[in-house]
Amino acid sequence: MESNPSPLPVSKKILWTSRVLSALPVLMLLFSAAMKLAHPPQLDEGFAHLDIPVTQACGLGVLELACTVVYLIPRTSVLGALLLTAYLGGAIQTHVRVGDPYFFQPLLGVLLWAGLYLRDPRLRALIPLRR
Could you tell me if residue 24 is inside a domain? yes
The residue range of the domain holding 87 is: 12-122
Q: Tell me the pLDDT tens digit for each residue of 69-107.
A: 999 999 999 999 999 999 999 999 999 999 999 999 999
Give domain status of residue 129, yes or no: no
d(CA 18, CA 117): 8
Q: What total of structural domains would you count in the chain?
A: 1
**Could you tell me if residue 64 is inside a domain?**
yes
What is the percent of the chain where pLDDT is above 90?
A: 82
- pLDDT digit string (tens) for 28-46? 999 999 999 999 999 999 9
User: Is the pLDDT confidence value at 1 over 50?
Assistant: no
